Each structure stands twice: as C-alpha cells, then as structure tokens.
A and B are shown apart, each in its own frame.
Chain A
C-alpha cells in the first residue's frame, strides 16, 4: 500500500479499441507528485488516445484510473479540471480579444451584489489574477489582451488557470511546438516552478533534448503499448530511439520496382516560407519515377512545405524549377498547369466536396479538358473517364452520382487520387496519403503509387508513418522544426536513422 501512495496519478491496464485497431493495449502509467514525467512515442503510438481516455473524451474499454489513491472517472475535460487534473493543448483555446483575467476566470467569474443585481466583480478578478501570477513568478498583466501576449505567455495563462483550480496533475501536449528558443526557456521556468510546488506534470513531446532537460521520468509508448517507464538518468538518445521504434516490419507493402530516370522533374532551391515560424532554406531534387518521402515529427513543417510548392502558402525566397524551367507558382491553378497535383492532408477541410457526387468530385480540376467548342461540358466523356479512373482504383460506391460524404474514408481518398490522375500530373504530392483509412485500403493506395511510378510519374509523399516511408520511398528527406536535417537513400533509411534526424533540433 505504501508503494501506491508514492503516486499521485495511476492509470492501470487501460485498453481501448477502435474498429480495426487496438489503440491502447493494457497500458499502465504511474506518475509521482512533484515530477515531470515525459511521455514519448511516434505519431500514432497512442499517447493522445491515452490522454483522451484520462480526460473522458474517449471511453476506455478496460482499466481504471486512480487519483491520489482514489478511483476516478472523468466524463469531460471540465470534470477533470475540477478534480485538479488539467490539460494544456497544443492548440491553445483562449478568447483572443479578451483580457487575460477574463480568460482565466471564464465561466466562473467572481460575482458581487449590487442592489438587486449579481454583477461580475472585476476588482476581485484583477487582484486574484495578480496574486496568481505572482505565485507562479509570471510577469503577465491581467488586463493584457490574450492576442497581444506571446504564445509562451498564453501557455503560462493556461498553466495559471490550471493552478487556480488547484491542479495536482497537469498534462502538456507538445507545448513547445510553436515556441522560439527563448520562449521555451520561459516555459521551462514556469514548469520547474510548478514542480517545486508538488504538481505532477505529464509532458508529451517529440523533442529529445528537451525531454532530457526537463523530465525526471520517461515513459515510452509504441503501437498502443507502454514499452518502458524509467528515470531519465537511465536513458540516452540511442536507448530512447530504440524504445520508440523497435518493431519488426511486416508485409504491409507491395514490392516497389524503382526505375529512376536521369531527368530532374522538380528542383526546389533554398525555399523559405513567408511565415517566419515555418520552413527555411529547403533544397531538394525529385527525379523522374521516384517516390521521395518526407518524414519528420509533428511541427516539422512538412505540410507547409508541400503546400507552398503547390502555391497554397506564401514563399519569402527561394526557387522552384519544373522540368529544368524556373517557375513562379502563386496559386494551385498554376501548380496544376505545371503538372503538379496535391492530395492534401486534411481530406474533409481541403479535399472533398461533401455534398457533390463522385463524378463532380473526380472531374473538378480537369473540366477544362472537357469543354466542347461551344464551351459547354461534354458530360458523357466526363462520366466515362471519371468512371474509368475510379474503376482502376477500385473505388467502391453504389453509384457515381452518390454524394462523396456517403463513402468510407478509404474510398473518399481513392476518389481524390482519381481526381488528380484525371489531370495527368507529372508530379503527384501526397500528404499523409493513408491517414485515417483502414489497412486494406492502405495497401491499395500503395499499389496505385507503384503503378504511377511505373508510368514514369514522380511522387512526393509526406508521411508520419515510419514504416510507410521505409516501405514506399526511394529516398527520405527528413525535416525538423522547418529545417532539412538530411536526405537518406533507401538503403540508409531505417527507423533509427530517420528518428535521429527528425529529433535533431529542439
């Protein structure tokens, strides 16, 4: 029993399944008070799922959660917060145009009576905020607008909010992903302060140097299991990487026959994003018939890079050449004209037209090719071509007039692939091409990719799934924090070598 009292939060034997995947498999995580407990693992290892089970956003299938030795069952983040368990998300959720103090006490504003009315007590709100900030040694004025203070200060406010609820456990999900080095220092000061007050911090991050700087204990997750929980002093970079990736590859990929040509179809030179927090000085070449993988961890700016190449995001400097010719791409229209296609990462947000038919969804970027002399569209040809491409890709749909929203994720993705094949691009950029689709559909997408390179097309594939990069790419370019940290050949690429490059900068 005395052993158990050492822990403030215990998650015992947590399991959680989604259709087709076991996201969490008998995970046990124990956290001591007054420590920073790092939680690491590849994208999709189950860290977020575990936390969502803690906060009741997902219903766990099995297992129990003890807080200070007592069994708890939270139904929402608010419920957890009231019991002293707080989560600070990667994406901050504050009201930008309101004061810091209004954000802190939102929904539980101190009130006072004025005649028959209950009014907000702004004075008390102000004083309470000042005191809270003083305790945490933070220098944030209660009447600053949330949007006007730095992101690390905004995180500080979230932490202050947690403290104001007397939080005993604070979970931080990738808190430094959008911070500058100086801001990280500031955040770490706040975290250390919190630890000294006896708060337990679960710190989720990909950045190894940070982890070793801040954490007392480290737990590593892989494929839904907790593979190790050790004091930070017993681990180093190499051991950690091994723990994170140590798994065998199965036959999830079709054999790829690369027949890479001499011709450079795309050359990117010193490309730098207009947004200073995004990627910088990226250079690479794409050869005919190759699949260039782009790897990296969350926040590495991979999506930002490919979207910039496709003209969706601003570029500050650098050059792009297509087939040896310098091109200026400032909109997707121009990118398409230069024979580039992009399957975006966010299928719902920037991919499908939910209510439109499979036919419309397939043909929309290539309608120019179907104009008759009268400028009217040749519907017959659109239909026969769209159906043909979708049949090739084995899209399963009741009819081709069905709205795309009625299809499964995998079939929606096939329609999007069909859409771009209709434009017959030379270069197809696929951003997380198999995200959110089941294993069978994944294999079919891989097959389509091998078909495409056989036809002499070139593919850039952004992927967060390490096996996918190793299984499909001829070369892997790794980004970390917006910088290129290396390009690995198919022979050099391994889970270890990619992870090393992906976590290089902190």
Chain B
C-alpha cells in the first residue's frame, strides 16, 4: 500500500508476492526441474510420469475429501481405513465367480455392484462422521479416530483377514485402462477435482464451507445452517473415499486388510503442503492437487534415486512438520 515506492522497486515486490501466494506451485515446478536435471531427464519420461499419476490418483480422491474437511477446521483420520474397507467390499463383489477362494464363490455379480457397494461404504462412514461432528458436537479428531478403528475392525472381519484377489478383468480395466497415453485414472481425478472446484467456488455450499472454517459463529449469524453444512462436507468426503476404494481395488486387482493403511497421513500431508490451513477457511482445490503432486514427486524422486524407503518416511515426516509450521506462521490468529 506504500505509494512512495518507485516503479523500479515494484518488480521484486511483485515477484515476492507471487512467491508467497504461489509457494506450493513454485516449489513443485522447482522440484520437477531439479529431478529432471539430476536424472538427466529420465525421471520426466512419459512412462515415469504415467506411473506417478497412477500412483497418486487414488490418494487424490482422499485429499479432495479431507481438504474440504480441513477447510471447515476439521480433520478426518478415518480416511485411510474407510478407503481400505471400501476397497475390500468392492473387491469382494468383483471376484471371478469360478475362483475357489472368492468371498462369494460361485456367485456372479453385475459389474456395477462393486462400484456402488464401495461408494456406499464410503458414504455411510462419511455420514456417520458428519453426524457425530455436526450434531453430536464431538471434536472431529476424536469422532474420526473412533470411526477409523471401526473401519479397521470391519475390514478385518469382512475379509476374514485374507486377501481378496482374482478380480474380473472388466472390473480392473476401470483403473488400469488407458485412453491413448492418458490413464483413465487421470481422467477421473481431473473430473473429481473440477467437480469439487465448482462446488467450492461456484455454489452457496462452497461459500458456506469457507465461511464456517473462517468463523463458525459469524456463519451462524449470517443464516448458514452450520450443522447441516458440516455434515454434508463429511458425507461428500466419504463418497470420495468410497470412489478411492473402488479405484484402488481395481488398480491393484485385489484388496486385503492392509489396503488403505496410512493413507490418511499421506492425504493430510498432501493438502497441508498444498496450503490448506489447519486454522480453517483457507485453501483451494488447486492447492490440494499441487500439494499432492509435490508429495508424490518427492516419493517418486526418492524411489527413482534409490533412497531406502525407510528414509523416505523420515523425509515425509519432516516435510509435513515444515509445511504446518509455515502455515501456522502465516495464518496463526493473533490472540
């Protein structure tokens, strides 16, 4: 706002502003270039990038869901287990009928059934979380910690702690197919991101979600039905997790009790890196996606460079802490 500045010194200011508002995008591009240089461009070949997209696609659905929840100042720890449960349920209806150890051996299901069932599982958990948080006034951390455990238990009970394999080819193609060089998964992610972007930016609901995260009291005074809106956010997130579960089982061609483990960590880390503030009310869908790709690129790059996966965990933890630290410095509210 300082008018006394000369035109010349405005350019660095502009660059500085751009850097501070697009930190995550700049970081992502810088990392991409860095990785390209140290691998002589090998990491940026089409095949490698396809692998990256496929690996991150399922997580993207989780990130979109939990990203919306974090914007309301909430959190969802059940994400990974709900995705896992939904993957197991959908897989159980997609096993080939002549596979002896199939859960429903000898039974033939329509191809849409596993898809619907998986999404329904996610939606049910989303609704459950939403009711607990919005109407039960449970802190989101505790409510979703509980449902995380419930989902884990159900997953083990339902699968009888064994792997559900031998999925039908016409089911697997949902995730494994390509349209030219473009994996189907990328198309789904782009569609989902666009839908959520429209929801968040072009509907009353989206505006209400930002308002609730920004100041829930003021939102109520402004006539927003805070409880109903909060519940819907958790429900939408659950639907996204359900889709993630379906896509995951189709991509892997199986599901087992370990499916989905720790995915909540990755998704929360991704959106945090992407600038979704835990102080609430701040964040964009673009940011969520960039954060996801950044974290994906770090994993992918370290694997590509042959870094031991145990060390990758250390790096990931450090990045999460750093991202939240930066976020809190930027958005922490003054008491």
Which residues of A line the B interface, CB within 8 A?
310, 312, 331-333, 335-337, 342, 344, 349-356, 360, 363-365, 367-368, 371, 375-377, 379, 398, 419
How far in angstroms is the closest Cβ of chain B from A304?
15
Asked if A332 contacts B223 (CB within 8 A), the reply is yes
Asked if B211 contacts A356 (CB within 8 A), the reply is yes
Residues of B within 8 A of A371 (CB): 204
Asked if A364 contacts B217 (CB within 8 A), the reply is no
Complex: A238 Cα to B220 Cα, angstroms: 44
Complex: A312 Cα to B221 Cα, angstroms: 7
Complex: A368 Cα to B223 Cα, angstroms: 11
- Residue B183 CB within 8 A of the other chain: no
Asked if B204 contacts A356 (CB within 8 A), the reply is no
Partner of A353, one of B211, B331, B333: B211
Query: What are some 9 contacts across the A-B interface (CB < 8 A)?
Result: A312-B221, A333-B224, A336-B223, A342-B221, A350-B218, A355-B282, A356-B214, A360-B210, A363-B207
Asked if A351 contacts B218 (CB within 8 A), the reply is yes
Residues of A within 8 A of B282 (CB): 355
Residues of B within 8 A of A310 (CB): 221
Asked if A398 contacts B1 (CB within 8 A), the reply is yes
Given A355-B331, A356-B214, A376-B198, are A332 and B222 also a contact pair (CB < 8 Å)?
yes
Residues of B within 8 A of A312 (CB): 220-221
Partner of B225, one of A333, A350, A352: A333
How far in angstroms is the closest Cβ of chain B from A422?
11
Asked if B204 contacts A367 (CB within 8 A), the reply is yes
Residues of B within 8 A of A363 (CB): 207
Asked if A333 contacts B214 (CB within 8 A), the reply is no
Complex: A363 Cα to B222 Cα, angstroms: 10
Asked if A354 contacts B333 (CB within 8 A), the reply is yes
Residues of A within 8 A of B198 (CB): 376
- Residue B20 CB within 8 A of the other chain: no
Residues of A within 8 A of B219 (CB): 353, 364
Residues of A within 8 A of B333 (CB): 354
Asked if A350 contacts B1 (CB within 8 A), the reply is no
CB closest chain-B residue, reference A367: B204
Asked if B217 contacts A349 (CB within 8 A), the reply is yes
Residues of B within 8 A of A352 (CB): 215, 218
Complex: A333 Cα to B225 Cα, angstroms: 7
Interface of B is mostly: helix
Q: Which of B239-271 contact A (CB under 8 A)?
A: none
Residues of A within 8 A of B5 (CB): none
Complex: A375 Cα to B282 Cα, angstroms: 23
Asked if A365 contacts B222 (CB within 8 A), the reply is yes
- Residue B45 CB within 8 A of the other chain: no
Asked if B223 contacts A365 (CB within 8 A), the reply is yes
- Which 10 A-B residue pairings sit nearest by Cβ, starting from the closest? A353-B214, A336-B223, A367-B204, A365-B222, A333-B223, A376-B202, A350-B217, A365-B223, A364-B222, A353-B215
- Residue B203 CB within 8 A of the other chain: yes
Partner of A350, one of B204, B207, B221, B331: B221
Number of A-B contacts (CB under 8 A): 78
Which residues of B line the A interface, CB within 8 A?
1, 198, 202-204, 207-208, 210-211, 214-215, 217-225, 281-282, 331, 333
How far in angstroms is the closest Cβ of chain A from B284?
13
Complex: A356 Cα to B201 Cα, angstroms: 13
CB closest chain-B residue, reference A377: B202
Residues of B within 8 A of A367 (CB): 204, 207-208
Residues of A within 8 A of B210 (CB): 353, 356, 360
Given A364-B211, A398-B1, are A356 and B202 also a contact pair (CB < 8 Å)?
no
CB closest chain-B residue, reference A371: B204
Complex: A331 Cα to B281 Cα, angstroms: 23
How far in angstroms is the closest Cβ of chain B from A39?
29
Asked if A419 contacts B222 (CB within 8 A), the reply is yes
Asked if A332 contacts B220 (CB within 8 A), the reply is yes
Complex: A150 Cα to B263 Cα, angstroms: 50
How far in angstroms is the closest Cβ of chain B from A450?
25
Residues of B within 8 A of A342 (CB): 221
Complex: A311 Cα to B56 Cα, angstroms: 46
Complex: A349 Cα to B215 Cα, angstroms: 8
Complex: A482 Cα to B333 Cα, angstroms: 34
Residues of B within 8 A of A337 (CB): 223
Residues of B within 8 A of A349 (CB): 215, 217-218
Asked if B281 contacts A353 (CB within 8 A), the reply is yes
Complex: A332 Cα to B221 Cα, angstroms: 6
CB closest chain-B residue, reference A336: B223
CB closest chain-A residue, reference B207: A367
Residues of A within 8 A of B208 (CB): 364, 367
How far in angstroms is the closest Cβ of chain A from B211?
5
Residues of A within 8 A of B214 (CB): 353-356
Asked if A379 contacts B202 (CB within 8 A), the reply is yes
Complex: A351 Cα to B217 Cα, angstroms: 8
**Considering residues A351, A353, A371, A398, which has the most beta carbons from chain B within 10 angstroms of its beta carbon?**
A353
CB closest chain-A residue, reference B280: A355
Residues of B within 8 A of A336 (CB): 223
How far in angstroms is the closest Cβ of chain B from A53?
22
Given A353-B214, A355-B214, A360-B210, are A368 and B204 also a contact pair (CB < 8 Å)?
yes
CB closest chain-B residue, reference A351: B218
**Considering residues B202, B214, B218, B222, which has the most beta carbons from chain A within 10 angstroms of its beta carbon?**
B222
How far in angstroms is the closest Cβ of chain A from B231?
15
How far in angstroms is the closest Cβ of chain A from B198?
7
Complex: A371 Cα to B220 Cα, angstroms: 20
Complex: A375 Cα to B205 Cα, angstroms: 10
Residues of B within 8 A of A355 (CB): 214, 281-282, 331
Partner of B203, one of A353, A365, A376: A376
Given pairs A350-B217, A353-B211, A355-B282, 14 additional interface contacts (CB within 8 A): A310-B221, A331-B220, A331-B225, A333-B224, A349-B217, A351-B218, A353-B215, A356-B210, A364-B208, A364-B219, A364-B224, A376-B202, A398-B1, A419-B222
